[in-house]
Chain A
Amino acid sequence: MQNEHFPSKLLENAVDEFARLPGIGRKTALRMVLHLLRCELSEVEEFGQAIIQLRKEVKHCNVCHNISDTETCSICSNPARDRSVICVVENIRDVMAIENTRQYNGTYHVLGGIISPMDGIGPNNLEIESLIERVKTGEVIEVILALSTTMEGDTTNFYIYKKLKNTDVNLTTIARGVSVGGELEYTDEITLGRSIMNRLNYFDTIK
């Protein structure tokens, strides 16, 4: 497909643009473009408009830095949410995942990535300083670290820990262990080992 010949320059341009999206190859791009060609003009206009508007008007919440339509996002401005608890996550997808659990009523702090020198991401490229500012207001009682369990996630956790250890905030991290409904026999030994090390008081699990 690399050397394919397009009869139309317009078609080729559109395919090139679609193929720049993550996970989209040139074959899929062509399929999408041909689909758009079959659509009503108004539909395609709406499609383009939605993307342009998104890019131009999207804001980042001035408290948690999540993607938002307003200066302060709907979670941070909700009076029913507990502002004394902050859950630190990598990006909006993690916010959505935790929100879907309906188990969490605190607020978030979206870092916008994790520390990875390989990818040119240092602490200064992330919203870590603003997290520390938030904690220093004194309103916060607990910070929950909910980053991925990769080495980069651990590095970021540790960096935040170092920055916060002189404050009196309670720093916690999400539990790692056997999945619900999972059979022990099929759990990998690293996870299972960790579950044994960090075992829980049974009474606490049935409350």
Chain B
Amino acid sequence: MHLENLSILNYKNIEQADLEFCSRLNCFFGDNGAGKTNMLDAIYYLSFCKSFFNAIDSLNIRHDTDYFMLKGQYTRKKEKELVSCGYKAGSKKQVKRNRKLYKRLSDHIGLFPLVMISPSDASLILGGSDERRKFIDGVISQFDHRYLESLIRYNRALLQRNNLLKKFAENRTFDHEILSIYDEQLIEHGEKIHKKRQDFLSGIIPVFQHFYAFISGGKENVVLEYNSSLNNTPLREQLAGEVEKDRATQYTNAGIHKDDLTLLLGEYPIKKTGSQGQNKTYLTALKFAQFEYLKNAAGLKPILLLDDIFDKLDSKRVEKIIELVSQDQFGQIFITDTNREHLENIVGRIPTEHKIFRIVDGKLNN
């Protein structure tokens, strides 16, 4: 699958732009604040019906205007597809596929799969465990609506159960019967979610390790593990064992809402020992593994957006990444960088088809 052309109107700092892309490597270069990342974000928007950076659409409209419009022409499974997103301040956003308006945006998400690698991914390593759960949930639920439904129900039951525990403490009462109803719902959905997270991770971990070894030149040993209390003990048993603790803390102590990923570099947590370049390599390998997963789930090659990918990486690793993405397992790729020579230097050495765009003040300047 690839994006053939994109037209942008009043999106962020881009007043108007019409771009024709090639089916492989497309590079944007320009100074800080020129609008390179906004170009990527417009492409992201067409796949996810929202901005990667800001979910509030009114803030994505160019200053002093009151609407934005994005239009992309794709070739998907040999068919031409036109996707357009429009938003006018104060009204509902409209997303159309082949001129037909979607009633539910969730019907669109997943049809034009895309992976974005951005400097803000660092929060996956540096942030709390919720960031890592959000990453897992986001990837799985794109193709599995039942997973999402389970997750929503689980979170709702958890919220009610925690409220119930607070009420018990406030009123100095306890009712095992009603608490156990919430336990049943947590168990039903929690076990399903755990199983799907486990399947997902056991699928991507070897792929991740392969990519990390490739990019780093096999110098470092990395570990990625699914860390869940449900790995060893059924949730039913855990909830039963934690009742007293739950009553004391007024909070549910066991469940998939405590899941995390263990990220190791060598034998130590990467959060504590990883350099910025190692972190970036780790995240890139993880996102490439996500790419492979999406490719299998969707049955087509997702679009890959690499925002400022070369920052913080040494030249060997940059070369390895470019070597990797120019292989046939990857499809259309969009890259941003601040320096033209740097870009040309890198992509010039590979035979893959490529196109370079210069962005100045939110405009295409070739």
Contact = CB atoms under 8 A, between A and B. Distances in A.
Interface of A: 115-118, 120, 122-123, 150-152, 154-155, 158-159, 162, 188-190, 193
Contacts of A120: 167
B156 A123 contact: no
A151 B153 contact: yes
Contacts of B185: 151, 154-155, 158
A173 B175 CA distance: 25
Interface stretch (B36-44, B176-184, B229-237): B176-184
Contact of B167 (A122, A150, A162, A189): A122
Most chain-A CB neighbours within 10 Å: which of B156, B159, B177?
B156
B157 interface: yes
A118 B178 contact: no
Interface string B160-187: 1101101100000001011001101100
B149 interface: yes
A162 B166 CA distance: 23
B149 A155 contact: no
B160 A152 contact: yes
Given A151-B157, A151-B185, A190-B145, A117 B167 contact: yes
Contacts of B167: 117, 120, 122
Contacts of A115: 178
A152 B182 CA distance: 10
B146 interface: yes
A193 B146 contact: yes
A155 B181 contact: yes
A60 B178 CA distance: 27
A52 to B, nearest CB: 35
Interface of B: 145-146, 149, 153, 156-157, 159-161, 163-164, 166-167, 175, 177-178, 181-182, 184-185
A155 B146 contact: no
Main secondary structure of the interface of A (DSSP, over half): helix
Contact of A122 (B149, B157, B178, B184): B178
Nearest to B167: A117
B119 to A, nearest CB: 36
B96 to A, nearest CB: 17
A115 B157 CA distance: 11
B181 A189 contact: no
B184 A158 contact: yes
Closest 10 pairs (CB-CB, A-B): A117-B164, A117-B163, A151-B156, A118-B163, A158-B181, A190-B149, A117-B160, A155-B181, A151-B153, A189-B145
A159 B146 contact: no
A152 B161 CA distance: 11
Contacts of B153: 151
A120 B164 CA distance: 9
B28 to A, nearest CB: 38
Contact of B181 (A150, A159, A188): A159
B177 A116 contact: no
Contacts of A118: 159-160, 163
B163 A159 contact: no
Nearest to A150: B156
Contacts of B145: 188-190
13 contacts: A117-B160, A117-B161, A117-B163, A151-B157, A152-B156, A155-B181, A155-B182, A155-B185, A159-B177, A159-B178, A159-B181, A190-B145, A190-B149
A155 B160 contact: yes
A151 to B, nearest CB: 4
Contacts of A151: 153, 156-157, 160, 185
Contacts of B177: 159, 162
Given A117-B167, A155-B182, A189 B146 contact: yes
A110 B175 CA distance: 23
A177 B108 CA distance: 23
A155 B185 CA distance: 8
A152 B163 CA distance: 13
A57 B149 CA distance: 44
A188 B149 CA distance: 11
Contacts of A152: 156, 160
A161 B159 CA distance: 22
B181 A162 contact: yes
Contacts of A117: 160-161, 163-164, 166-167
A188 B146 CA distance: 10
Nearest to B161: A117
A118 B163 CA distance: 5
B160 A190 contact: no
Contacts of B181: 155, 158-159, 162
Given A117-B161, A117-B164, A150-B156, 4 more contacts: A155-B182, A189-B145, A190-B146, A193-B146
Contacts of A193: 146
B149 A116 contact: no
B90 to A, nearest CB: 17
A161 to B, nearest CB: 9
